[in-house]
Chains A and B, each alone.
Chain A
Amino acid sequence: MEFSLNEETKMLQSTAEKFCREKSPSSFVKNMIKDKNGFSEDHWKEIAQLGWLGLIYDEKYGGIGGSFFDLFILFEEVGKTQLPSPFLCSAVFAGLLLNEAGDENLKKAYLPSMIQGKKILTIGLRNEQGQYDHPTPALDAQEIERGSYVVRGTRILVPYAHVADEIIVCANLKGKKAFGPTLLKVAGKASGVKKTLLNTLTGEKTFGVVFEGVKVSAKDIVGKIGQGGAYVDKVLPKVITLKCGEMVGGLSRVLTMTVDYVKQRIQFGRPLGALQVVQHYCADVSTFLDTSRMIAYQAASMIDAGLPCAKEVAMAKAWVSDAYKKSAQIAHQLHGGIGFAEEHDLHLYYKHAKVSELDFGDSWYQRQKVAEAMGL
């Protein structure tokens, strides 16, 4: 048991903290919600130059070969300011799928440009109810002639599809010889790919994507036919853990904002924060933060160490989902009317908490995973 960070990680953390604070003030985050692109190309280039996109990838693809734990720390900082970008979908989710499933040619063709920020990747893994359905995807890839397939079906909540060079999907491949859930890459600009911007709680750019008979070929198959679901399952714990990092970052900002507010807001002739009921609410949020950090750091550190941790990851997502949401709710109660105003920043976190809770399985879903891991 050791709870300190090494110098290297602390340096990365402080660089990330400074970058996010300077580049991504809340005014910027709010502008990006209205912006057509939804993120800054300049930021994206800088993030690539900082090496963040390649942090965990092998040096032969232009990566840094760094530690997963450091990437987790980065996401905690990103979550604090809600810096919008395709970081998670491109450099983590899609990138890890290619890294896990792709052959050497495919990796060489895509990972370096992804790491340099020149290509943006995304994933279309959620069905029309928004559920991840990779074990039995409601998206078909029918073989029409040898090595040629037609993709039909709908994916929703596809992040940053408008700028994605490639969308990685898991389709139910129906070949003459081979079949089953299979990863495919589909060019974002391919004909028959219809993208509709979704107006969601956070306003981060995400799309409904309808594949209207999109033609792909055998070279677009990523990994082995029939193994698509397994690849996604392999990569998911990492993505979920980084999402938890982002949530912990958001939660820590909720606490900071709330404590600052109740210290300076005078009512009944004294700061709100001098009222014991308010103090106890703040102590509750502080507890949600500490507990969330502990359980999420544990998952990140075990992944980093290469230890089996399906249960730890599920525990983290279950707890952090609840803790972040409840904290944001308490924060709204303590902020009163001003927190409900659009000009305030608190709602960014209230919304982020809900959307994050709904992604990758909420606490109930994750508890079922915990129970499974316990042999129940």
Chain B
Amino acid sequence: MRDHQPYGKGEGRMRFTFTEEQNKFRQEVRDFLNAELKAGTFVERSGGLAEGSSQEFSRKISRRGWIGMTWPPKYGGHGRTNIEKAILVEEFFKVQAPVAYHFLCDRQIGPSIIHFGSEWQKEYFLPRFIRADDNIKFCLLFSEPNAGSDLVNVATTATKEGDFYVLRGQKAWTSSAHEADYGWLLARTKFDSSVPRHESCSQFIVDMKAPGVTIRPIINMAGYHSFNEVFLDEVKVDRKFMVGQENEAFKQIMVQMDYERAGMERLVQNYPIYEKLLNHVKEMGKTQRGDPFYNWARDVVAQLEIEFNIGRLLCYYTAWTIDQGRRPTSEAALMKAYCNQYEQRLNDLSTLVFGPASQIREGSPWALYAGEIADCYLWSPSYTLQGGSVEVLKNIVALRRLELPRK
């Protein structure tokens, strides 16, 4: 193996600062968010990934040109860089702005349509996403009871009948299915057992209100209704809603996942907790300097600060990689695994520094920050599972980047 060099072609001078233009842009985003916070549009609270959803809020973002920022102008995009996009997402998630209405479209549905969609799909969906129109909320219909990390095991079928495909099967762990207008679905379209499983699936856009779609909530361990079971009983989908080539779904999904994983949100969804922890330890320092517990807490915060800074560099490096026109496969996998684990440690250590009262959930006068720390600790196990488990991501680094053998 050659020594791996992390850099590629670029303007040619390593620089870890932002340009004046980028700093101005960040300030513009901050000013917008501060005004919204002041107006009480939303509150800063860590927890689930982009749980807050508001079409009105998304419309405001759209009017500023902040949806589809990096997409081609041909479809209403703004042709800006992924570094700028990362700045935007960093600022949004630092204060947990309610971006869920358009976030999935912006992060991966739109880019997937740009990559693989038909001209009709591009013209129909992209401008609607960019405007944060009605009915653009998506969910991902990938996982099934017997297809989790082993996604090629999907059993849901799509059978061609004239101009339609008919869907039969069951999906599981579908986040926000109960609020979604569309589902981005993976289903088997070839039933010949001699064909490899990863060459027999296709992707579809499914109307979640269509006859035959039944959604049942799954309440998660944090007590929230975020994901669902979705049953598909003879659901008819017009063939124009098939995305890309028939039976090519896995090639498409691999690309799609690289972009799903490449975002800054993997690092900053618990930033409000980190800020509270930092301020708490600062306060402790005023009265408890020299106390062994304070010394420990100070050390903890310094370590988290280092880890956060590194995660941030990895995120910007991944964004930069995309701007260079490269697919960030191993970069995004490595970055997401690192960031997920950082956030888990953060949430665990917060409970230890804040102490036993951190277990009290919202609704009690003794709850800290309205139970936010307890909530975050409960959400934590999901980070290293969603969007590819840490183990799957390490496989990608090992096989793709280090080129270790499969057998």
Q: Which residues of A line the B interface, CB within 8 A?
A: 1-7, 69, 80, 252-253, 255-256, 259-260, 262-263, 270-271, 273-274, 276, 278-280, 282-284, 286-287, 289-291, 293-295, 297-298, 301-302, 305, 307, 315, 318-319, 364, 367-368, 370-371, 374-376
- The DSSP consensus for interface residues of chain A is helix
A2-B14, A271-B405 known, 10 other contacts, Cβ within 8 Å: A1-B317, A253-B3, A255-B1, A255-B4, A259-B404, A279-B402, A280-B391, A283-B337, A286-B402, A287-B397
Contact A375 B282 (CB under 8 A): yes
Contact A1 B316, CB 8 Å, known A301-B16, A367-B306 = yes
Among the stretches B5-13, B130-138, B210-218, the one at the interface with A is B5-13
Please, how many angstroms separate the alpha-carbon atoms of A295 and B312 in the complex? Answer: 10
- What A residues does B306 contact at CB under 8 A? 295, 315, 318-319, 367, 370
Report chain B residues within 8 Å CB of A305.
Answer: 15, 17
Query: What are 25 of the A-B contact pairs (CB < 8 Å)?
Result: A2-B12, A2-B15, A3-B317, A5-B14, A6-B12, A69-B14, A256-B4, A260-B1, A271-B405, A274-B404, A274-B406, A274-B407, A280-B398, A282-B402, A286-B334, A287-B397, A290-B314, A290-B334, A294-B310, A294-B313, A295-B310, A305-B15, A364-B299, A368-B302, A375-B282
* Contact between chains at B8 and A4 (CB < 8 Å): yes
Nearest CB on A from B286, distance (A): 11
Residues of A within 8 A of B3 (CB): 80, 252-253, 256
With a CB–CB cut-off of 8 A, which chain A residues contact B12? 2, 4-7
In the complex with contacts A374-B305, A376-B282, A2-B394 CB distance below 8 A: no
Check B399 for interface membership: any CB of A closer than 8 A.
Answer: yes
Flag B132-174 by CB within 8 Å of A: 1 or 0 each. Answer: 0000000000000000000000000000000000000000000
Given A2-B10, A279-B399, A291-B310: A263 and B316 interface contact (C-beta under 8 Å) = no
Tell me if B34 is interfacial: C-beta within 8 Å of chain A: no
Q: Whole-angstrom distance from the CB of A372 to the nearest CB of chain B? A: 9
Task: Report A259 CB to chain B, min CB distance, Å.
Answer: 5
Q: Contacts A319-B306, A376-B302 given: A279-B2 contact, CB under 8 Å?
A: no
A2-B391 contact, Cβ under 8 Å, with A252-B3, A279-B398, A376-B298: no
Q: Which residues of B contact A287 (CB under 8 A)?
A: 334, 337-338, 397
Q: CA separation between A287 and B393, bound complex, in Å?
A: 11
Using Cβ atoms and an 8 Å threshold, which residues of chain A touch B282?
A: 375-376
Known: A4-B9, A291-B338. A284 touches B1 (CB 8 A): no
Chain B interface residue count, Cβ-Cβ cutoff 8 angstroms: 55
| Contact with B14, one of A3, A367, A368, A371 (Cβ below 8 angstroms) | A3
A371 to B6, Cβ gap below 8 A? no
Knowing A4-B12, A307-B17, A370-B306 touch, does A262 contact B404 (C-beta < 8 A)? yes
Tell me whether A4 and B334 are in contact in the complex, defined as CB-CB below 8 angstroms, given that A290-B314, A376-B302 are known contacts.
no
B18 contacts chain A at the CB level, 8 A cutoff: yes
Which B residues touch A297, using CB under 8 A?
Answer: 14, 16
Q: With the chains together, A302 CA to B313 CA distance in Å?
A: 14
Q: Is the CB of A315 within 8 A of B309?
A: yes
> Of B6, B8, B394, B397, which is within 8 A of A293 by CB?
B6
Contact of B1 among A256, A274, A367 (CB under 8 A): A256
Q: How far is the CA of A287 from the CA of B7 in the complex (A)?
A: 15
Once A3-B10, A291-B314, A293-B6 are accepted as A-B contacts, the answer to whether A284 and B394 lie under 8 Å apart by CB is: yes
Q: Distance (Å) between the CB of A320 and the closest chain B CB?
A: 10
Cβ–Cβ < 8 Å partners of B310 in chain A: 291, 294-295, 315, 319
With A252-B4, A280-B391, A297-B16 in contact, do A3 and B401 touch (Cβ < 8 Å)?
no
Are the CB atoms of A283 and B402 closer together than 8 Å? yes
Our pick among B281, B338, B402 for the contact of A376 (Cβ within 8 Å) is: B281
Tell me if B395 is interfacial: C-beta within 8 Å of chain A.
yes
Closest to B330 in A: A286
Residue among A262, A278, A290 making CB contact with B6, cutoff 8 Å: A290
Nearest-CB residue, chain B, relative to A300 = B14
Given the known inter-chain contacts A273-B405, A319-B306, A368-B299, please indicate yes or no for A294 contacting B317, CB distance below 8 A: yes
Please give me the residue from chain A that is nearest to B401 by CB atom.
Answer: A286
B285 at the interface (CB under 8 A from A): yes
Any A CB within 8 A of the CB of B220: no
| Chain B min CB distance to A4 (Å) | 3
CA of A367 to CA of B302 in the docked complex: distance in angstroms?
A: 5
In the bound complex, how far is the Cα of B398 from the Cα of A253, in angstroms? Answer: 16
Q: B8 — which chain A residues lie within 8 A by C-beta?
A: 3-4
